[in-house]
Chains A and B, each alone.
Chain A
Amino acid sequence: MSQRLLLPLLVLVAALAAWSAGAAALPPVLLPGPMDVLGAISADPGRLIGAALRTGSCALAGLGIGALIGAGLGVGFLWSRSLELAVYPYALLLQTLPVVAVAPLLVVWLGYGAPVAVAASALVCFFPLLTAAHVGLLGVDPEQVELFALYKASRWQELRWLRLPAAAPAAFAGLRTAAGLSVIGAIVGEFVGSNGDPPSIGYLVLRSARSADTALTFAAVGAAAALAGALYAAVRAAEALALRSYHPSQRGPSR
């Protein structure tokens, strides 16, 4: 077996052993063992999967809305320096607001349910995506811009055939960061805005911790991590597909 597989596997085995030893020494309400967590998962796997799907779709919707607003504003800033000067400081301000503090306000405006999770997720995703779009769209080789000017390209042609493809690597880097954040945002939204019908990861984490069902809390946290990992992997796969034919990051060593 290659070291690439063997070494992480050894760490996993050691961690499970340490976890089991710790769980044997402590009451399960403080630290449930791996078998307790497996038990909590298998007791009602449908509920956990359903909650993960719900939280995942809220995170994905938030990521999509954040990407649309980020890319839209990025294009707006590209075409209008005045818009950039007028709006960018407030975008920056929005980024400094802690989503935990804003989430209760979202409940006031949107009521209980999925919209709060989607909005909280979009709120945390938006800024890294705006920054990525802004940097990517502006960071085009000036001679390539001249090439398009030489042929009297319209600004839509320039956007479609030059700036958007040139911005793709930066956009994917922003999406990778935002993929993890989107799950965090959705769960924070669910902490304050979910009434458990249907259950979501945020709701399961809160309720199980309050009712001392720590094994289920572990299972729900594990599901959240798996969700973020799956979103990240999906972005990486899309990136590899989109950039594989030309970008150095997807080609390995250059000639």
Chain B
Amino acid sequence: MAGPESENALKLVDVGLRFPGAPAPLLDGFSLRLPRGQVSALVGPSGCGKSTLLRLLAGLLPPDRGAVDLAGLAEAPGARGFVFQAPNLLPWRTVAENVALPLQLAGIDDPAAVDAALDRVGLASARGLHPHALSGGMRMRVSLARALVTRPALLLLDEPFGALDAITRRGLQAAFAEVWSRLETTVVMVTHDVEEAVLMADVVVVLGGAPLSVRAWHAVKRASPRGPAGRFSSAVGDQVRRLEAAL
């Protein structure tokens, strides 16, 4: 099994999954460990099944066989936060009402938690706006605030920067890295960009093939904090080149 031998790890064990009507299984005896309390990035070509792994971890999709073991991390509702590829906000709700949704679904009224989550992503002043009045980057921040409002033990992100222009993407990467540095949350992020994975994560898992397998499991060595600022360092460049070769 790829990953650290630790009791304290998220584990996918011998997982099998085949979508109805698909000619071949997407996952067949797939196993992976991801470290707790750190940021992991799952990298792979489009359509390889990365997002499916994330949905297995989120509990949105049950495996046909095998086990998803979150090390007791995230059993209660709200213990798992999910940032979708699109901001996925409810257009009829204001920013604050969108962020409050996970609390509302749990029957909790906690305006202070909503304010804290909005503060954390730098959007306290936008609380009364509707999503259509926000830029693409701001909508993704609202989406992150919504995922953080329940103080999840596990935060899952599905290509959160994929649909943004380069400048917005770097700004948002910096903002996300800054938020993660102040949380003790375990983060699993899916991306198809190896450089983004090395800049943002502590562990990079390169995936590929059908059925899906782990091509490389890499603990990132870094001199500077997580985030886009490190992209000019030669150490990052070396790691990106090596991992891209494994793709």
Give the B-binding residues of A (Cβ under 8 A). Answer: 141, 143-144, 146-153, 157, 161-162, 165, 168, 243, 245-248, 251, 254-255
Contacts and interface: CB of A to CB of B under 8 A. Distances in A.
Q: Is the interface of A mostly helix, strand, loop or mixed?
A: helix
15 contacts: A141-B88, A143-B84, A146-B55, A146-B84, A147-B82, A147-B84, A151-B102, A157-B105, A161-B90, A161-B101, A165-B90, A243-B92, A245-B92, A246-B92, A246-B132
A143 B91 contact: no
A-B pairs, 9 with minimum CB distance: A152-B77, A151-B105, A246-B91, A165-B92, A246-B130, A153-B105, A143-B88, A246-B92, A143-B84
Contacts of B90: 144, 161-162, 165
Nearest to B143: A147
Contact of B88 (A147, A152, A161, A248): A147
Nearest to A141: B88
A254 B88 contact: no
Interface string B131-144: 11100000000000
Nearest to A146: B60
Nearest to A158: B105
B10 interface: no
Contacts of A147: 82, 84, 88, 101
A147 B104 CA distance: 13
Given A147-B82, A149-B60, 12 more contacts: A146-B60, A147-B88, A147-B101, A161-B101, A162-B90, A165-B90, A165-B92, A243-B92, A246-B91, A246-B132, A254-B132, A255-B133
Nearest to A148: B105
Nearest to B134: A255
Which of A147, A149, A162, A251 has most B Cβ within 10 Å? A147
Given A161-B101, A251-B132, A150 B82 contact: yes
Contacts of A165: 90, 92
Interface in B88-134: 88, 90-92, 101-102, 104-106, 130-133
A251 B92 CA distance: 13
B13 interface: no
Contacts of A150: 58-60, 80, 82
B91 A151 contact: no
B59 to A, nearest CB: 8
